[in-house]
Structure 1
């Protein structure tokens, strides 16, 4: 049995996939399998993958699983990989990103020594910045984690037992926030490696950075599904961190609407989710930053001020104090 399964969903990444795959090949050990899910990519991505693997030894070729499916989105591709995975642990690698050179060694060593439910590590971005998963790397509490809001699925390694049958929500954006927090609230043993083990590419032309009318509407639907998902969990389990997640997603949705539509439409959603605001006594305010707390108590005024800030910024009258 493999110790680790690395799942790589592939879609329209012909300019990046060779670099991504090479970052895995240079450190591949017999304890690791690699599952490449072709999510109906219309370009040469999968041909590049096949060509690279065909030049490897038979032993390495046998460690790869190549799957073709019609385009269903990132969540469905990851879910397909999870179902096929033979490893005790699962890692996710986006096909325009890379693993650091010590990823496999550090992760496998941690698995053998600690057998954790979850392994955390930091990301190093294409803009030369480190994304720390915990708000304060010396504070490994759930509070620090939730306050940072860094829910990147690819900055963790998960035991397959922890994932179980609870997979990514299909057909939405921001799928990571619907998956990752749930694992923390079920994990008993979490190990944090304060290392940059993953290289994360920031692309200006990504789906969430290019807002067409269709992507805007899908984003709104995604936010609503996530809010309802966590509210359902809160009602069943009465864990206030699920309520916290619902509210934080709601706040994120409001700022998104302000940026991409207008303050009037943002106000409509404040009224729609007024119950979330009314029950603010259920929230631990120490988990929030000042801006979110201000929104919690003065939502309409916050929207007005945020809209004013955005107008100044767009007109280049904005300056940092």
Structure 2
């Protein structure tokens, strides 16, 4: 049984898969397996991957490629990888990103030394404008409630790619997201609730390449509506999980999340479908944002302005 399984969905990444794969095969951790999930990619991604594998003969036996018969999206591609994985811990990697060479060994050592269910590493974002941002845990000594709220208030990232997760913990999820947008949120937020121990691994990074051309940055009307519907469906998974016994504790931050998702639709408010989605439960959402003292004052003011416009019929 390998110490760590890395799950990598593959679709339309022929420009980036070589960089990703080489960074994975050059990890200092020896006892590791790599599960690439071919989600019916239409380009040369798999051909390029096989070429890179041939350059690392010592890794060949550690690599498996799972082939989907139809395109299912990254959420279900990850699920295929999880179901195939044998490692004590599982971590995801997007095939257009890359990782520092010592990352997975250090994360695994932290997991063992601290008996952690989840280990979080730093994430370095490479923006299109040339700037970089380093993201990690805001407060590694925070309580479980504090860690969860930090993600709900978007003070830390909920990405799966910078979190090494005990394999048994993934099996405790009540629901697995089916939609792409916000699928990380629908997995990580419930996992944080059922985890006994979350640990932090500093310095070595997961490197995230921000590209405005990806699905997550669609700005067409149809793309934005689809993106909004997907993320709200995944948010519903989170709400169902927390409503079981912590509805009051997390009601306000969950409404804060919905408020931020609704703002995606504001530029398209003249469209009937977008307007209907935007106005659904809007008054309730705005109430919980305006009365929430845990978020910044300017956000509460923006919510109040939207409420006034709604009541005056201006939006």
Query: Under TM normalisation by the shorter chain, which class is it?
Result: 0.7 to 0.9
The aligned length equals 304
Compute the displacement of 1:229 (Å).
2.6
Q: 2 CA distance for matches of 1:264 and 1:290?
A: 31
Corresponding residue for residue 247 of structure 1: 255
CA pair 39-96 structure 1, distance change in 2 beyond 3 A: same
Q: 1 CA distance for matches of 2:281 and 2:99?
A: 40
Of 123, 131, 137, the residue aligned with 1:134 is: 137
SS at match of 1:20: helix
CA pair 262-80 structure 1, distance change in 2 beyond 3 A: same
**Deviations 1:201-225 (Å, cap 9, x if unpaired)?**
0112111223233322211211331
**Preserved contact between residue 122 and residue 136 of structure 2 (Cα < 8 Å):** yes
Q: 2 CA distance for matches of 1:126 and 1:60?
A: 28
SS at match of 1:65: strand
**Deviations 1:164-183 (Å, cap 9, x if unpaired)?**
15264113412111111111
Compute the displacement of 1:249 (Å).
2.8
Residue pairs, 1:124-203, within 5 angstroms? 124-127=124-127, 128-135=131-138, 141-142=146-147, 143-147=149-153, 148-166=155-173, 168-203=176-211
CA RMSD of aligned residues (A): 3.1
Q: TM-score, normalised by structure 2?
A: 0.84
Q: 2 CA distance for matches of 1:188 and 1:277?
A: 31
Corresponding residue for residue 19 of structure 2: 19
Corresponding residue for residue 316 of structure 1: none
Corresponding residue for residue 75 of structure 2: 75
Corresponding residue for residue 60 of structure 1: 59
**Preserved contact between residue 102 and residue 204 of structure 2 (Cα < 8 Å):** no
Residue pairs, 1:1-321, within 5 angstroms? 1-27=1-27, 29-57=29-57, 59-69=58-68, 70-127=70-127, 128-135=131-138, 141-142=146-147, 143-147=149-153, 148-166=155-173, 168-262=176-270, 268-269=276-277, 271-274=279-282, 276-277=284-285, 280=288, 285-286=293-294, 288-295=295-302, 297-301=304-308
CA pair 32-256 structure 1, distance change in 2 beyond 3 A: same
Q: TM-score, normalised by structure 1?
A: 0.83
Q: Which runs of 5+ in 1 are unaligned?
A: 309-321
CA pair 241-226 structure 1, distance change in 2 beyond 3 A: farther
**Deviations 1:248-300 (Å, cap 9, x if unpaired)?**
3311222101134459977644642147438739x8632x2224333555542
Q: Which runs of 5+ in 2 are unaligned?
A: none
